[in-house]
Structure 1
């Protein structure tokens, strides 16, 4: 067994808004397993992704760095498997590498989407990965240790069953395990994809928690129709909610294996999403790239986060400190008794002290979220959010105390000019410290068409620095 070192399970959902969780206050969505996990652990109420796009966000969860350091700026298209596919995190220190070096046995069930999805990474004794970044729920291609499998059963259950089998198989091992369970739920497609037992729960739902607002001014359209929108928003809402509830039930079956094997108290369980999602809030369907220019609304950049560690951390606690995906690798290493310093060379810092002691061990820092769709860069304090778009804007400033729904943009208000200047300065100084010249995307024309290859750059970094002082 594991001795003093706990097993670790990290469960990542795909495109789940922070609002789409019963424990977070949504009275319509049914997530009893996750709600119970929150009661037995710690829930973070203000946890942010590093980028509101899938691949960059996932790269940050593994490296503790932001896109302008790890170099994954966009969702990854191009060949996802085979000899022409690229490992975008090659030669970068990752959380899984550190755990492998610490003696953990690693397993993956579900989505990888960081290039070369068919190739097991170092330390993985089990690799069951989705071919690309998404798929229908009843027609998926998975790669088991490099060999393709065509799956027609419900994908959420397929991923959960594989994860449960890994837990069963690991009971004969002396070393602790790390298991990544990366669901595709609740990513589209929504309507007509999910088991009837779950869709039936929402046939009469009012969906008051997902108001369908007037179309956003930045909504992308083609032939008059929203790009990424839904032809039947009610059916899409039924599908979105059903997919979350089906995933919740699947997670319950995985966690039951811990109880059956008597290792529940020896296992840290983390649940979060890669990025947020709007289902009509602010007048669009999608995440950051649901609009152009890319949006940085809290629905897009905040994600649900739960961490349970029985006997190691308090239970039933909710923290509202500003924390980020780039903090996660250092925190998990800290919680398992390893030195987190390797993941604290960038912006990430372990928040294990907060989880253990129930109080912050250092002053709260602003969080930064960014994307190279434009690009857009955001700095958020407890009271203010500033969004800067290089080179021409539009920029945004929100008073989150008086305007928590982010409705009134104060960026051009002369009364707030000093605030804008100060937040812009802080943002510029943050990137001066935490981005690398080789990977900084501020002056690169990444527009959301998919990152086909590592970005071509002059090795001397011969491009202009962004103009933070202009419009």
Structure 2
């Protein structure tokens, strides 16, 4: 059996709203819109955590952060003897692909520790040193131990590297996997992107990003929102331009697949690591754009598209709730491989639903979960509950009556039964799937970066200044 190639494209900090195909009439994403037309777009796909490193760890392992142990973006050493592989010893999607005979390539962001060390099965490695950088000043690690200082526009450099990998793979018969991990549209925003893209938005009204009154939990740095910049309009121009420039770069990669006549033999998947707010709810950023950490849909939902001509329906939009911890099993089944190793925990393949088939197994309740350290969320089609260990504040939303999550019902006696039901479901799920050695329930994560493991320092690596562990 010949398995299809897989190109997995992951953007960085792209809100679910920042896509033309999702209904945004201002942002220009013609390549991704066309990909959605010839594939399937998931309208409600959720990250496992609204911050990059834990979200990416879940995409690769199918585990929740309280099972793989990455609870914040990774800070500290990203290369050399002082760095560490945070996924060491854990089965990953890429391991399964390597075992199946795939040749693996990485172009772009890794941000799961030891960025200078190619993981098993990778025949090509071009990894960003850390979690982000300026767009004309990036440090990249190659598979042969070299470090490159990239001063050209980073989005194009990543796409160029991916294209070089595709060209080189044409001499091999084995299927390939390409992890195409852009840093766009992650900040910095203003003054970072080519004029051909920023000029598109100079006169934009940005109706799709209303700048609401500052959220009471808004985090600021030097007077600006921690996830934004001092000049809001320039930041919006930069954010939109970053998405459009990335869209164009993706177009060049897809064109190379066409030039090699392998587009129909390749499954292309696009998603973001976590969501992002550009003024919605009165803040800029994702989960760590506020303190307490927020779990609004703008933070925990991401765009998602999957396409393979002849193998999947074209032009479909699914609104089922799906999650990052379902992704490894789903991709493996779509590729004709065994999903079972990634269904031992919370993840379940939804490949049958994508193909338009009736699933053989009994469907799970339509529920997704997310977490960020001690903050945990459960979301059904019509309710969302957010629980913050150890002492709140907690939130309950009726998403049918209040889809924009404006009215917190957690303290409303009329909704006490609803709250108790959701809390019970949340507790039962984490009891089943969390690992005591990696559980984030007791971690006072404040978005300061995760530098050590829980067993090394269960509080110090996450504690805010002056925090002594007392509630």
TM over 0.5, shorter chain: yes
Unaligned regions of 5+ residues in structure 1, if any? Answer: 460-470
Deviations 1:231-280 (A, max 9, x none): 11100000000000000000000000111111011000000000000000
- The alignment status of 1:13 with 2:11, answered yes or no, reads yes
Task: Measure how far apart 1:365 and its partner are.
Answer: 2.6
2:333 is matched with: 334
- The alignment status of 1:158 with 2:140, answered yes or no, reads no
- The alignment status of 1:318 with 2:317, answered yes or no, reads yes
1:449 is matched with: 448
Deviations 1:80-138 (A, max 9, x none): 00111000000000000000000000000000000000100000000000011000000
Change (3 A) 1:319 1:454: same
Give the match's secondary structure for 1:172: coil
- The alignment status of 1:305 with 2:304, answered yes or no, reads yes
Task: Measure how far apart 1:221 and its partner are.
Answer: 3.5
Task: Measure how far apart 1:455 and its partner are.
Answer: 1.5
Deviations 1:161-182 (A, max 9, x none): 1001101110110100000000
Task: Measure how far apart 1:457 and its partner are.
Answer: 6.1
Q: Give the whole-Å Cα distance in 1 for the aligned partners of 2:29 and 2:409.
A: 37
Q: Give the whole-Å Cα distance in 2 for the aligned partners of 1:429 and 1:295.
A: 22
Give the match's secondary structure for 2:243: helix
Q: Give the whole-Å Cα distance in 1 for the aligned partners of 2:223 and 2:331.
A: 47
Q: Give the whole-Å Cα distance in 2 for the aligned partners of 1:458 and 1:190.
A: 35
Alignment of 1:222-233 (within 5 A): 225-233=224-232
- Kindly indicate whether the alpha-carbon contact (under 8 Å) linking 2:372 and 2:445 is maintained by their aligned counterparts in 1: no
Task: Measure how far apart 1:363 and its partner are.
Answer: 4.5
1:388 is matched with: 387
- Kindly indicate whether the alpha-carbon contact (under 8 Å) linking 1:86 and 1:453 is maintained by their aligned counterparts in 2: no
Under a length normalisation based on structure 2, what TM-score does the superposition of the two structures give? 0.95
Q: Give the whole-Å Cα distance in 2 for the aligned partners of 1:137 and 1:330.
A: 34
2:372 is matched with: 371
Q: Give the whole-Å Cα distance in 2 for the aligned partners of 1:19 and 1:436.
A: 33
1:50 is matched with: 48
- The alignment status of 1:84 with 2:85, answered yes or no, reads no
Change (3 A) 1:225 1:112: closer
2:428 is matched with: 429
2:295 is matched with: 296
Q: Give the whole-Å Cα distance in 2 for the aligned partners of 1:51 and 1:221.
A: 21
Q: Give the whole-Å Cα distance in 2 for the aligned partners of 1:319 and 1:422.
A: 27
Q: Give the whole-Å Cα distance in 2 for the aligned partners of 1:347 and 1:11.
A: 23
Q: Give the whole-Å Cα distance in 2 for the aligned partners of 1:313 and 1:409.
A: 40
- The alignment status of 1:141 with 2:139, answered yes or no, reads yes
Alignment of 1:389-404 (within 5 A): 389-404=388-403
Deviations 1:334-353 (A, max 9, x none): 01111101100111100100
Alignment of 1:180-329 (within 5 A): 180-221=179-220, 225-329=224-328
Q: Give the whole-Å Cα distance in 2 for the aligned partners of 1:290 and 1:358.
A: 40
Q: In terms of mean alpha carbon deviation, does 361-370 or 161-170 score higher?
A: 361-370
- Equivalent residue in structure 1 for 2:110, among 94, 109, 112: 112
Aligned residues: 456
Q: Give the whole-Å Cα distance in 1 for the aligned partners of 2:223 and 2:335.
A: 53
Under a length normalisation based on structure 1, what TM-score does the superposition of the two structures give? 0.95
Give the match's secondary structure for 1:234: helix
- Kindly indicate whether the alpha-carbon contact (under 8 Å) linking 2:187 and 2:228 is maintained by their aligned counterparts in 1: no
- Kindly indicate whether the alpha-carbon contact (under 8 Å) linking 2:287 and 2:295 is maintained by their aligned counterparts in 1: yes
Change (3 A) 1:359 1:29: farther
Task: Measure how far apart 1:226 and its partner are.
Answer: 3.6
Q: In terms of mean alpha carbon deviation, does 436-445 or 414-423 score higher?
A: 436-445
- Equivalent residue in structure 1 for 2:124, among 115, 123, 126: 126
Task: Measure how far apart 1:184 and its partner are.
Answer: 0.2
2:57 is matched with: 59
Q: Give the whole-Å Cα distance in 2 for the aligned partners of 1:221 and 1:245.
A: 27
- Kindly indicate whether the alpha-carbon contact (under 8 Å) linking 1:321 and 1:364 is maintained by their aligned counterparts in 2: no
2:35 is matched with: 37
Q: Give the whole-Å Cα distance in 2 for the aligned partners of 1:69 and 1:252.
A: 36
Detail structure 1 runs of 4+ shifted over 4 Å in the superposition.
222-225, 358-361
Q: Give the whole-Å Cα distance in 2 for the aligned partners of 1:260 and 1:437.
A: 50
- The alignment status of 1:413 with 2:451, answered yes or no, reads no
Task: Measure how far apart 1:454 and its partner are.
Answer: 1.2
- Kindly indicate whether the alpha-carbon contact (under 8 Å) linking 2:47 and 2:324 is maintained by their aligned counterparts in 1: yes
CA-atom RMSD in angstroms: 1.4
Deviations 1:44-80 (A, max 9, x none): 0000000001000000000000110000011100100
Change (3 A) 1:83 1:107: same
Task: Measure how far apart 1:364 and its partner are.
Answer: 4.1
Change (3 A) 1:22 1:222: closer
Give the match's secondary structure for 1:365: coil
2:20 is matched with: 22
